[in-house]
């Protein structure tokens, strides 16, 4: 009996010792923390989306766009970002510097936790939103089957920027440079074979589209040319006070998506604000990219 008890104690001690050792290894590899005193960005990219999107409508498919905007909205609400921006197969979440009164990034800025949870959450939500999209009969049966497999997934990275000016530069890079380049390239590839586009820069591709196909990039939808921003907005709603039994005007919040050309000189007026500023009216949204509203009556973003 004594021998059996000693063996049990030894195994328990061994398990604790091994557990502590393994946790040290985990901490060494997963202990990085983002500088929370600076503006931060979480950027998610669709992994191998060139394969996932093969066979969808070109140069863009509204079903994928709708799913990306809905996923960006989910991420903004789930992680408490002040702005989400999506173009092509990527989503950027923007966070202001944290303060004692208003923490910004979730998980206390732990890099491993942020990137793993955000990538998993984005993958799950995007697959859910794609599953709700319509597909046309037998002609799109292979696409419907691909979507039904829920194989789409994202990678994620998080980093801080030195100051708000560099955050504006980050968005200029994504919205003015990368989005424009991507959209011109996708539009050209929808009309010409790769051989015709070999070594052509963006301006040459634009000229080729206009001269040979009569296609004007400037007439494409705003979401395709400029990307889409998601933020919370405040709105008024008629409500009923159950105590006074009187009608009242209540202020509520919801998420709203809008597409417009990024202006660096005006960017700080909305990038790090909690709500859409009044001067950015709902009419800024692209007519083919309807405003997405969610969370009517919700007072605050979900925190993690």
Q: Is-contact 213 191, C-beta < 8 A?
A: yes
Q: 111-131 and 141-148 helices cross at what angle (nearest 10)?
A: 140
Query: How far from 240 is each of 44, 128, 246, CA to CA, in Å?
Result: 42, 35, 6
Q: Is-contact 188 197, C-beta < 8 A?
A: yes
- The answer to whether residue 211 is domain-embedded is no
Q: Who has greater pLDDT, 213 or 296?
A: 213
- The answer to whether residue 44 is domain-embedded is yes
Task: Give the chain's mean pLDDT.
Answer: 89
- In what helix (H) or strand (E) does residue 114 lie, and over which residues does it extend? helix 111-131
| pLDDT of 283 | 45
- The answer to whether residue 5 is domain-embedded is no
- The answer to whether residue 183 is domain-embedded is no
The rounded distance, in Å, linking the Cα atoms of 124 and 153 is 8
pLDDT > 70 in the chain, percent: 88
The rounded distance, in Å, linking the Cα atoms of 46 and 154 is 4
Q: Is the pLDDT of residue 15 over 80?
A: no
The CATH number given to whatever domain includes residue 172 is: 3.30.70.3000
| pLDDT of 33 | 95
Peptide bond before residue 152 is cis, with ω within 30 degrees of 0: no
Token pair recorded at residue 112: 């491993």
- Give the pLDDT band of residue 240 (cuts 50, 70, 90): confident
| pLDDT of 238 | 87
Determine the average pLDDT of the residues in 117-138.
97
- The answer to whether residue 282 is domain-embedded is yes
Sheet of 90-95: strand order equals: 154-160, 40-46, 90-95, 83-87, 228-241, 246-258, 294-298
Give the model confidence (pLDDT) of 133-186 as tens digits.
999 988 999 999 999 999 999 999 999 999 999 999 999 999 999 999 999 999
| pLDDT of 215 | 98
- The answer to whether residue 122 is domain-embedded is yes
DSSP lists the bridge partners of residue 86 as 91, 228
Total domain count, the chain: 1
Could you tell me the residue range of the domain that residue 255 belongs to? 30-176+228-304
pTM: 0.86
Give the model confidence (pLDDT) of 16-49 as tens digits.
788 888 888 988 888 899 999 999 999 999 999 9
- The answer to whether residue 206 is domain-embedded is no
- The answer to whether residue 269 is domain-embedded is yes
Cα 168-67-50 angle, rounded to 5 deg? 80
The rounded distance, in Å, linking the Cα atoms of 46 and 91 is 9
**E strand spans, 209-281:** 228-241, 246-258
């Amino acid at each position: 009996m004594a021998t059996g008890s000693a063996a049990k104690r030894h195994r328990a001690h061994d398990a604790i010792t091994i557990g502590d050792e393994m946790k040290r290894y985990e901490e060494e590899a997963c202990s990085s923390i983002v500088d929370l005193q600076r503006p931060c960005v979480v950027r998610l990219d669709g992994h191998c989306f060139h394969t996932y999107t093969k066979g969808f409508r070109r140069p863009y498919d509204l079903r994928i766009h709708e799913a990306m905007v809905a996923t960006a909205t989910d991420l903004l609400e789930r992680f408490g970002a002040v702005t989400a921006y999506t173009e092509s197969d990527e989503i950027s979440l923007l966070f202001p510097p944290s303060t004692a009164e208003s923490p910004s990034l979730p998980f206390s800025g732990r890099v491993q936790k942020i990137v793993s949870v955000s990538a998993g959450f984005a993958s799950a939500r995007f697959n859910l939103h794609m599953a709700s999209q319509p597909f046309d009969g037998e002609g799109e049966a292979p696409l419907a089957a691909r979507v039904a497999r829920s194989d789409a997934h994202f990678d994620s990275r998080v980093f801080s920027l030195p100051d708000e000016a560099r955050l504006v530069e980050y968005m200029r890079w994504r919205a003015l440079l990368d989005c424009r380049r991507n959209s011109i390239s996708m539009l050209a590839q929808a009309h010409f074979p790769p051989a015709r586009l070999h070594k052509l820069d963006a301006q040459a591709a634009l000229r080729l589209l206009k001269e040979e196909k009569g296609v004007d990039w400037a007439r494409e939808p705003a979401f395709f040319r400029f990307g889409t921003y998601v933020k919370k907005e405040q709105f008024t709603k008629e409500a009923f006070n159950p105590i006074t039994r009187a009608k009242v005007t209540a202020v509520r919040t919801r998420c709203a998506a809008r597409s417009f050309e990024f202006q660096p000189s005006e960017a700080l007026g909305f990038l790090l604000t909690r709500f859409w500023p009044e001067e950015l009216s709902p009419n800024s949204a692209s007519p083919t990219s309807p405003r997405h509203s969610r969370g009517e009556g919700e007072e605050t973003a979900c925190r993690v």
